[in-house]
Amino acid sequence: MPQPIPTKEIIDVTSVFLEVNYPHLFGEDIAPLAIGIYKELCARHPELADAFEYFLGKHTRSVKYHRAVWNNGQPRMRIDLDKNEATETTASERQLSGIVLSKRGVKSDELKALMKVVNQKKRQKEENRRKEMELQQQQQRQLKLMGSEMQRLAGQGLDAAAIKKKTGVQLSERAIAKFLSK
């Protein structure tokens, strides 16, 4: 059963608690959070577990947090509760944060360059999909034409071997005979 959303007062108190006790993560100049920070917080302060869950969700979706992860596309270390470096942000995490920032209207040359690459990949994917659809449609048309031609030749009394020779189709005589029997 889902937990109730903490009240605004509890969230505000949690926010102040985290800013005071962990300013390196939740103060003015924040850093990307170490993976597993929620479990660490709950182990140290179990009475605030529900509030942490809600607050961290809100915090990690904020523009401020995405800026910390994006870091102008440069790698940055994730930080734990004790100010220790944990793991480095991955390229895909930075890219995702860059896309989020761009969609939220944040402007920078690095974000423009990122979005240009993302949009080029998107256009290329759409173009490849369109070409694949056209190829499939062309193949279907060719199969229909070949089927019609084989039916026409069968109607003239030609057997499967003669149809194969006449059309140059790359099917076995057995496959041609089976097709014609349908």
* Residue 40 belongs to some domain of the structure: yes
Same domain? For 95 and 145 the reply is no
* Residue 144 belongs to some domain of the structure: yes
Specify the number of domains making up the chain: 2
Same domain? For 50 and 89 the reply is yes
Average pLDDT over residues 81-109: 89
The predicted-structure confidence for 129-173, as pLDDT tens digits, reads as follows: 999 999 899 988 888 888 888 888 888 988 888 888 888 887 788
Same domain? For 14 and 78 the reply is yes
Average pLDDT over residues 8-15: 83
* Residue 147 belongs to some domain of the structure: yes
Residues ≥6 apart with Cβ < 8 Å to 166: 153, 158
* Residue 1 belongs to some domain of the structure: no
- The angle subtended at Cα 108 by Cα 107 and Cα 114, nearest 5°, is 100
Same domain? For 92 and 159 the reply is no
* Burial of residue 45 (number of CB atoms within 10 Å: 0-12, 13-18, 19+): middle
What is the model's pLDDT at position 170? Answer: 79
Same domain? For 91 and 158 the reply is no
Range of the domain at 151: 137-181
* Residue 114 belongs to some domain of the structure: no
Reported pTM:
0.61
Helices (H), 32-107: 37-44, 49-60, 63-70, 91-103
Tell me which of 87, 106, 125 is where a domain ends: 106
* Residue 122 belongs to some domain of the structure: no
Same domain? For 159 and 90 the reply is no
SS3 14: helix
Report whether pLDDT(107) > 70: yes
87 — pLDDT class (breaks 50, 70, 90): very high
The predicted-structure confidence for 14-47, as pLDDT tens digits, reads as follows: 888 999 999 999 988 889 999 999 999 999 999 8
Same domain? For 99 and 145 the reply is no
* Residue 132 belongs to some domain of the structure: no
Same domain? For 41 and 81 the reply is yes
Same domain? For 27 and 101 the reply is yes
Same domain? For 91 and 141 the reply is no
Residues ≥6 apart with Cβ < 8 Å to 153: 162, 163, 166, 167
